[in-house]
Amino acid sequence: MIKHKLSKSPRNQNGKKVTRSSYTPISDALCQQNTLVDNEFHDGLKRFNLGTLLLQCLSKDRRSDAVELSQILITLLVWPVLKSPSIHCFCSELCQYIKKGVLKIKRPADVIYDFWGREDINWRKFATKASIKISKDIDLGNPQDRAFVVDDSLKSRRGKKVEGSSLHHDHNSGRTIQGHQLLELGIVGDGCFVPVDRQIYTGSKNAISKPEGKDFVDKRSASAQDMKRAFDEDKNQMLNRMLKSAQRSGFKARYLLADAWFGIKKNIEMAIDLDLVAIFQMKRGGLKYRYEGKDYTAKELHVKFNRKMKAVSKKSLYKTVRIEVKINLETLANKPERWRKVALVLSAPQRSKHQNWVVFLTTDLKLVAEKILEVYSKRWSIEVYFKEVKQHFGLLAEQSGKYQVTYASVHLAAVRYLLIFEAMQRNGSITFGEQRDLVSGKLLIMAFAGFLWKLFRNLISGAICGIKGLGEDLQQEITERMNDAVEEFLNEAFHMTDQHIKSLMMSENCC
């Protein structure tokens, strides 16, 4: 097998190697000249014995048909990345089992669509088993520093025959579009993100189910049960079930991170019941918080504490204030109130409009504001994951409206990501370790974004140290422009952009 040929690392003025980090590590690694993606899939399939895992996820009465399963699986895994320079491994494997007459199918495409369309394969079980097995070879760091991260992503899918699709509001564009919405649960550790579980969510508006007369052959099959959950459950119920399943599977984390669309009483109570520290961004709506015996909304608290919001230094990008309040976790009006003490952090950029502020909630009263927001910044990793799987790993890219194909697609995309991520980390093409400070003197200090700041300053420091003859004025100009770029990115990561604030203001009447 051909391994990665790593390019020479740049060096600073002292001759030491500069460690580079990446905002989209998988994308950057796949663009390297000597990255042979098909080889990595083939190697990963053998290393983790994924063929046997898939066999275990077939219905018992069909396991006798599972001849040359590994060769079929490599076809399914490699399909989205055929644009890569090297496909010799894919071609050789595909030709082997077609030449043997094992499948008795003339066209390779028929192999792919046949397996996509099979109802008796439990792709969710396969992806979960693969995630458990592969994650053991990925260094996630101390479990006390890990966090479960949940988010949803929307993929536009047009057509009257696209089963399981419905109308969803796209918060990024501000429009309502037809498509599939995917709820993803992952775990983030020491710079590493591992997808754990996922579920398609079908809303009630313009929902498309199976056409009459073309229902599932077996309504007890994995894809049929998945489609039933997609229609019957809301995203909060899905999250509850996925978290419990992840903990039973052995995934351990201390925190649960989610954006404002998951910041509701039920999810706060769920985190407490599962012994997780919730860190949620909250909506600026009508939800009441009790402070010193009086009830306030988030907006009213902002008015009350706005002047107390301070930054650690003049160069810090954000000003914050931490408040300890109580929240009533009871959702039914006729039930006794159940008050729980929580901590809120109001945060806003120093150079922003008056309305550009957000509120974060945590159930751990020992956490200071800087730590709360530093941990929450890790939530950005799931946004990067969505970008990677959509761009490179064929998430919902199949040209089929069948639900069982959609069901297979979302889980296969996660397996592809895991295999490449583990391979890149093992071969040294991606470095997620502790970043070293390579710039002489003190860099700009952000009170709470240490994790992201290390990443960005490392990128820039490598470039600055490699240029000779830079005067102090030019270095200062570079630093200022770098600061502006980082501020823009962090505003996006912490949902402090004008667009996101506008979306929050539209839902101010929601609890």
Which of the four pLDDT bands, split at 50, 70 and 90, describes residue 21? Answer: very low
Q: What is the pLDDT of residues 206-227, one digit of tens each?
A: 999 998 888 898 888 999 999 9
Q: What is the DSSP string of 458-477?
A: HHHHHHHHT-TT--HHHHHH
Say how far apart CA 138 and CA 193 lie, in whole Å. 9
Torsion of CA 369, 370, 371, 374, to 10 degrees: 120
Minimum mean pLDDT range among 308-312, 402-406, 450-454: 450-454
- Burial (0-12, 13-18, 19+ Cβ within 10 Å), 64: exposed
User: Exposed, middle or buried by CB within 10 Å (0-12, 13-18, 19+), for 241?
Assistant: middle
Mean pLDDT of the chain: 78
Select from 178, 236, 175 the least CA-distant residue to 207. 178
Angle at 138 between CA 382 and CA 145, to 5 degrees: 60
pLDDT for residue 484 is more than 80? no
Name residue, tokens 């398609």: 200
In this prediction the pTM is 0.78
Residue 323 · residue 303 · CB < 8 Å: no
Per-residue pLDDT tens digits for 390-406: 988 889 888 788 999 99
How many CB atoms are closer than 10 A to CB 191? 22
**What DSSP string runs through 23-65?**
SSHHHHHHTSTT--HHHHHHHHHHHTTHHHHHHHTB-GGGGGG
Average pLDDT over residues 453-475: 56
Q: Which residue has the higher pLDDT, 415 or 14?
A: 415
Q: Can you tell me the distance from the alpha carbon of 360 to that of 180, in angstroms, rounded to the nearest whole number?
A: 29
Query: Domain-by-domain residue ranges, the chain?
Result: 25-126+393-427, 262-376+435-511
List all residues 6 or more positions away from 127 whose beta carbon is below 8 Å from its beta carbon: 197, 198, 411, 412, 414, 415
**In the predicted model, is pLDDT for residue 60 greater than 60?**
yes
Q: How far apart are CA 108 and CA 116, in angstroms?
A: 13
Question: Residue 144 carries which DSSP code?
Answer: G
Residues 6+ apart with CB under 8 A from 352: 496
Q: What mean pLDDT is predicted for residues 239-267?
A: 96
According to DSSP, residue 102 is labeled S
Using 50, 70 and 90 to split pLDDT, how confident is the model at 511?
very low
What's residue 139's pLDDT? 85
Tokens of 387: 């970008």
Burial string for 388-425 (b: 16+ CB within 10 Å, else e) reads bbeebbbbbebebbbbbbbbbbbbbbbbbbbbbbbbbb
Judged by DSSP in three states, 70 sits in helix
Which among 30, 28, 21, 135 is positioned nearest to 433, based on CA atoms? Answer: 21
Portion of the chain with pLDDT greater than 70, in percent:
68
What pLDDT, on the 0 to 100 scale, is given for residue 468?
56
